[in-house]
Structure 1
Amino acid sequence: MTGAGPPTVAGVVELIAAGQAELLDGRGLNASHRVAWGGRALSVKVHCAERSSAAEFRRIGRVDSALRGTPWYPPVLDLGFHGAERPRLVVVRPYAPGSPADDARRHIGGVVDVLADLVARAEGVRAEETLVGDYASPWLDGARSERSLVDPLLTGEWRGLGRAMDRHLGELRRGAQRLTSADGLRVHHGDLHGRNLIAQGPGRLTVIDWDEAGFSRRPADAGKALWLSCRLGRGDFALDPEATGLFLGRLHTRLGIAYSDARDLARLGALWFLPRHDHVTLLGQRDAGLGSWYLGWVLRFWRRFRGNLDLVTRTAAELEAGGP
């Protein structure tokens, strides 16, 4: 098949099976491919069987309807399931050429602009409860169960993760609850940070990686982006004071998020760095080393959490007082 006519799930899956696609790097649960179709490049995301569901199908489709026409959004070209025994959800979009930023701090302005667009695009959107949720939802709805499930994985060198969860989970949940509004529905990307903004020229960006897209009733994208866009480097989690100030200032201006909410915003975002049993297990099934890599990665986050949280609080206070 050479890709005549509009791209289809069946057609791109056939090309992937025939070895006529490039597998893109990534440590997530889903597989990404670049496929040539009729003279154009396509991005094909093959979701893992465990995360392929009718609800996921509806969620991606509803988000696509809300965001179509946004300059930075690559629309869905086809969406469907492939396979009989363990059907996998397949999403076909235009491929975004360009390179992600090695230093996410350079894209803080773009990230906040996208956050503002996601809020605006949710106006008037109605979504059934099965489509509403984010990384904080499991911890707000069933923290005791989530903590109990992951405990057998946190042995040996990972015991520090268990202690961090027990030390901080209560305050993280309270912060997330304070930022939750029954009326504040917004489109949720799920992993919005500089590495998922592809630069295609001056002032032109495309947002990629819509695996976790849906809807949320709290600023979950902003909370996670605070941690991932303001750190000094990808290998660690020391926040850059200047980048943190820029991020919080732009959030205040563009989204109206109060400086007094900055500490709770950081607590909300920190919930994403709590290991969950199903996520760690699925990573290990994809690659034996991924589970350990992930646990080490989030452990580094928690070793710096308290100092970083205090930095966010001080920076917000200085901005509220009119400081630099």
Structure 2
Amino acid sequence: MTGAAPPTVSGVVELIAAGQAELLDGRGLNSSYRVAWGGRALSVKVHCAERSSAAEFRRIGRVDSALRGTPWYPPVLDLGFHGAERPGLVVVRPYAPGTPADDARRHISGVVDVLAGLAARAEGVRAEDALVGDYASPWLSGGRSERPERSERSLVDPLLTGEWRGLGRAMDAHLPELRRGAARLTSADGLLVHHGDLHGRNLISDGPGRLTVIDWDEAGFSRRPADAGKALWLSCRQGRGDFALDREAVGLFLGRLHSRLGLPYSGARDLARLGALWFLPRHGHVTLLERRDASLGAWYLGWLLCFWTRFRGNLDLVARTAAELEAGAS
């Protein structure tokens, strides 16, 4: 490859097919690679065919237009579909050098700064309905068949047998209040740029004050603070794989969110409820994981079960911490 030639989807896919790319670790549905191109390192995300669509193409492109020039955002270098029968979306970006945080609590201030930047960059942006949505959308609209409130058949029921019955009970116990909390935080006016998986592990540090946000494959637009809700759970826990929240980290997160984005402390419990919707099992996601690797479905369900065993105590911790912050501020 020559240094003058810009990277292309077809070119990087050829290198991947030839075994000249490094497969990066991940348990998601998409595949990530590091590719050398003309003396520079590239990050290549190959989306699974089942999740690739024209709407996803437009969504990533529109987010790229909104965020270009932001110091923590790696811009799209090329974007397109590859494959004959079931083409998958391929996204090429600069590779972000550095290391993710082993302890996401160290990056709480950085995460909230990015949330503020995403909100600022969304001002004046318009997006058609097909580009607006987040992990909460299926639970607030047509996706209720995943776990209906009434007697209709639930898509996810066949997965929640045996050791996973606790997940079904958690969904039945908490889903109504999660939906109500998410609805209260939903606004018909204005949009937020939505990263989709914003937490410390996706902030790559390459020196003091230098951060790059990676993993933009779920990017789009949202009418509620979905990134903040999910980041509350993923950035404030005491360790990876464990969902016991750290009270000091929760206080720092809510305090920064209040000062940078004006989120009232009274909305903290609903913010946690909104974020918790991401930890509900969806039939399509689990089956696609198992198709990629037979062990991933069981790993994912066990991971979710760990979250729900601690949910009520963690939710109370968030509410108490927010009340203390509000009392101190007043």
Supply the distance in 2 between the matched residues of 1:29 and 1:212 (Cα, whole angstroms).
Answer: 11
Supply the distance in 1 between the matched residues of 2:214 and 2:49 (Cα, whole angstroms).
Answer: 21
Supply the distance in 1 between the matched residues of 2:195 and 2:281 (Cα, whole angstroms).
Answer: 20
Aligned to 1:29: 29
Give the 3-state SS of the residue equivalent to 1:321 in structure 2: helix
Aligned to 1:268: 274
Shift of the alpha carbon at 1:235?
A: 1.6
Shift of the alpha carbon at 1:184?
A: 3.0
Aligned to 1:14: 14
Supply the distance in 2 between the matched residues of 1:38 and 1:88 (Cα, whole angstroms).
Answer: 25
Equivalent residues in 2 for 1:308-319, closer than 5 Å: 308-319=314-325
Supply the distance in 2 between the matched residues of 1:5 and 1:317 (Cα, whole angstroms).
Answer: 56
The count of residues paired between Structure 1 and Structure 2 equals: 324
Shift of the alpha carbon at 1:83?
A: 0.7
Aligned to 2:39: 39
Aligned-residue CA RMSD (Å)? 1.1
Shift of the alpha carbon at 1:84?
A: 1.0
Supply the distance in 1 between the matched residues of 2:257 and 2:279 (Cα, whole angstroms).
Answer: 22
Given that residues 134 and 188 in structure 1 are in contact (C-alpha distance below 8 angstroms), is that contact kept between their aligned partners in structure 2?
yes
Given that residues 135 and 277 in structure 2 are in contact (C-alpha distance below 8 angstroms), is that contact kept between their aligned partners in structure 1?
yes
Give the 3-state SS of the residue equivalent to 1:322 in structure 2: helix
Q: CA offsets per residue over residues 282-304 of structure 1, 9 Å max, x none?
A: 00000000000000000000000
Given that residues 10 and 82 in structure 2 are in contact (C-alpha distance below 8 angstroms), is that contact kept between their aligned partners in structure 1?
yes
Shift of the alpha carbon at 1:4?
A: 5.3
Given that residues 187 and 224 in structure 2 are in contact (C-alpha distance below 8 angstroms), is that contact kept between their aligned partners in structure 1?
yes
Gaps of 5+ in 2: 148-153
Amino acid at match of 1:17: A
Supply the distance in 2 between the matched residues of 1:143 and 1:304 (Cα, whole angstroms).
Answer: 25
Amino acid at match of 1:187: V
Shift of the alpha carbon at 1:146?
A: 1.4
Amino acid at match of 2:311: F
Give the 3-state SS of the residue equivalent to 2:238 in structure 1: coil
Equivalent residues in 2 for 1:117-266, closer than 5 Å: 117-147=117-147, 148-266=154-272
Amino acid at match of 1:179: L
Supply the distance in 2 between the matched residues of 1:281 and 1:104 (Cα, whole angstroms).
Answer: 29
Supply the distance in 2 between the matched residues of 1:4 and 1:25 (Cα, whole angstroms).
Answer: 30
Supply the distance in 1 between the matched residues of 2:58 and 2:296 (Cα, whole angstroms).
Answer: 29
Shift of the alpha carbon at 1:105?
A: 0.1
TM-score normalised by structure 2 residue count: 0.97
Supply the distance in 1 between the matched residues of 2:75 and 2:66 (Cα, whole angstroms).
Answer: 10
Give the 3-state SS of the residue equivalent to 2:239 in structure 1: coil
Aligned to 2:292: 286
Shift of the alpha carbon at 1:144?
A: 3.2
Amino acid at match of 2:128: E
**Which stretch shifts more, 139-148 or 179-188?**
139-148
Aligned to 2:103: 103
Amino acid at match of 1:117: G
Given that residues 80 and 89 in structure 1 are in contact (C-alpha distance below 8 angstroms), is that contact kept between their aligned partners in structure 2?
yes
